[in-house]
Structure 1
Amino acid sequence: MKVFQFHLQKVLDVKEKEKEQAEWDFGKSIQRKNEEEWKLGQLHELHEEATGMLHSVQAEPVSVAHLMEITRYRQSVERSIHNQKQMVYGCVREMERCQMLLTERMKETQLWHKLRERAHGQYLEAEKQREQKEMDEIGTQLYLRKSN
């Protein structure tokens, strides 16, 4: 009995590699989004600290320059928060794109696996018929020998 060989195995291998790459890219996009969200959290903490400083300084007599410096710092942190939110949004969009690509690659790979399974089933059926034909031939030969 000869060994089954899927004639489109190289295509299946390529599709498997594409799926693995899509999984890798999706994982990296999740990691990047998490890192950017952590940075955003850090900026929110800085904003809270700056707001707390501003409130505590307002209760004490301080120079206008010091008050303006804290205000500018707080505004700078707010701009950074805005920019970081844009970064997180971009990461979420990239993650969604990677997820869609991964889903597509998984469907393609599944389709090629089904084709391989179907071809394997046809191979097994053909082998079964060939073996049955050989058995019938052997039976016929034995019958003819006994008849003579």
Structure 2
Amino acid sequence: MKFRYVYQKVVDLKSNEKTQAEWMLSAAVGHLQAEQRSLNQLFEDKRATFIAIQSEMENKASVIKLQELQRYMDFLEQCISSKTRDVQRAEVNVENKKSFLNGKMLDEKVWLKAKEKEQNKYQHEMLLREQNELDEMATVRFAMRAR
């Protein structure tokens, strides 16, 4: 007779929930990485603009051109500030998803441990039954020889 766990569907459900939590964490990490790349690009644009301003000052460029570059630099600062907040929110989201995943992993582990205990109990009972059958066979043989 094969072992059949009564709560196998619950174990499967917990496993699926853990898998979904892993996917959600993966998506959150992907979003965080995209936000970080975007922030890094803004920093690179800011650096390039700063170099352009320095170059224009050395070439004695027009005041209008310098003002335009400065306005762009201010705009980049605002974008960097906004994007930094986005990165922080994405980091918090990743931490939340990690916590959620840890909970699901613990939940699954509890159910798997219960299944394992039940399976060990079943195997022990099967071994006892087998041993009892063998003992009974030996008793019958002994009784038959004694006659």
- 1:69 is matched with 68
- 2:16 is matched with 17
Question: What do residues 51-80 of structure 1 show as CA deviations (whole Å, max 9, x unaligned)?
Answer: 112222223333332221111100001111
Question: What do residues 77-108 of structure 1 show as CA deviations (whole Å, max 9, x unaligned)?
Answer: 11111111111111111111111111111111
- Percent identical among aligned pairs is 28
Unaligned 5+ runs, structure 2: none
TM-score by length of 1: 0.92
Secondary structure of the 2:61 match is coil
Question: What do residues 25-74 of structure 1 show as CA deviations (whole Å, max 9, x unaligned)?
Answer: 11111111111111111100100111112222223333332221111100
Task: Letter of the 1:111 partner, please give it.
Answer: V
- 2:41 is matched with 42
State how far apart, in whole Å, the 2-side matches of 1:87 and 1:64 are: 34
Q: Which runs of 4+ in 1 moved over 6 A?
A: none
State how far apart, in whole Å, the 2-side matches of 1:61 and 1:125 are: 91
Indicate the larger mover: 138-147 or 5-14: 138-147
Unaligned 5+ runs, structure 1: none
Secondary structure of the 1:4 match is coil
State how far apart, in whole Å, the 2-side matches of 1:146 and 1:59 are: 116
- 1:98 is matched with 97
**Does 1:79 find its partner at 2:78?**
yes
- 2:7 is matched with 8
Indicate the larger mover: 122-131 or 47-56: 47-56
Aligned length: 147
State how far apart, in whole Å, the 2-side matches of 1:139 and 1:49 are: 92
Backbone CA RMSD of aligned residues: 1.3
State how far apart, in whole Å, the 2-side matches of 1:35 and 1:15 are: 30
